[in-house]
Amino acid sequence: MDRHKNRLNNTNVEALEATGKDYRVWDTVVPNLLVRVTPKGAKTFYFYYRNEARKVRWLKIGRTSGLTVDQARKRARTLQTKVDDGLDPQDERSVRMSAPTLKDLWDAYLDQHARPKKKASSVEQDQRLWRLHLSPLLSDTKVATLTLAEIRKLHSDMSATPGSANRTLALLSKMMSFAVENNWRAENPCPKVKRYPEKELCRYLSSKETSLLWSALSDDHDKCASSILKVLLLTGARRGEVLKMRWSDLDLSTNEPTWTIRAGNQKGERAKTKDFVRPLDNRVAQLLRDWRSSRTIVSVEWVFASDRKPSDARTCIKKAWNRIRNKANIPDVRIHDLRHSYASFAVNSGLSLEAIGATLGHKDVRTTQRYAHLSDQSLRNVVNAVSETVLG
Question: Residue 202 domain-assigned?
Answer: no
- 372 with 237, same domain: the answer is yes
Domain edge (last residue) among 75, 97, 119: 97
Q: Which helix (H) or strand (E) holds 2?
A: strand 2-6
Has residue 389 been placed in a domain? no
Q: Residues 287-301: what's their mean pLDDT?
A: 89
Task: Render pLDDT for 72-110 as a digit per residue (tens, 0 to 9).
Answer: 999 999 888 888 888 888 776 655 555 689 999 999 999
CATH number at 143 reads 1.10.150.130
Average pLDDT value for residue range 29-40: 92
Q: Is residue 390 part of a domain?
A: no
- Whether 284 and 253 map to the same domain: the answer is yes
Question: What's 74's domain CATH number?
Answer: 3.30.160.390
Domain boundary among the residues 78, 97, 116 is at 97
Whether 199 maps to a domain, the answer reads no
Query: Are residues 39 and 64 both part of a single domain?
Result: yes
Please name the residues in contact with 336: beta carbons below 8 A apart, sequence gap of 6 or more: 238, 239
Asked whether residue 388 is assigned to any structural domain, the reply reads: no
Residues 127 and 43 in one domain: no
Give residue 390's pLDDT. 42
Q: For the whole model, what pTM was predicted?
A: 0.54
Residue 75 shares a structural domain with residue 149? no
Q: Are residues 135 and 40 in the same domain?
A: no
- Are residues 349 and 226 part of one domain? yes
Encode pLDDT of 130-177 as tens digits: 999 999 999 989 898 899 999 999 999 999 999 899 999 999 999 999
Dihedral (CA of 283, 286, 291, 292) sign: positive
378-390 pLDDT, tens digit per residue, is 545 544 554 354 4
Single out the residue of 363, 370, 379, 378 nearest to residue 202, CA to CA: 370
Q: 109 and 84 share a domain?
A: no
Give 193-219 pLDDT, tens digit per residue. 999 987 766 778 888 998 999 999 999
CB 211 within 8 Å of CB 218? no
Cα radius of gyration rounded to whole Å, the chain: 27
Asked if 118 and 235 sit in the same domain, the reply is no
Domain boundary among 53, 82, 97: 97
Supply angle C-alpha 341, 343, 348, rounded to 5: 95
* Number of domains present in the structure of the chain: 3
36: containing domain: 2-97
CA distances from 59 to 31, 70, 75, 110, 365 (A): 14, 17, 11, 19, 48
Residue 181 lies in a domain: yes
Q: State the Cα angle at 268 between 262 and 274, rounded to 5°.
A: 35
Among 9-18, 119-128, 315-324, the least confident range: 119-128
Q: Which residues on neighbouring strands pair with residue 3, listed in sequence order?
A: 24
CATH number of the domain encompassing residue 300: 1.10.443.10
Q: What is the pLDDT of residue 94?
A: 57
How far is the C-alpha of 241 from the C-alpha of 298, rounded, in Å? 20
Q: Is residue 391 part of a domain?
A: no
Specify if 29 maps to a domain. yes
| pLDDT, average across residues 261-273 | 61
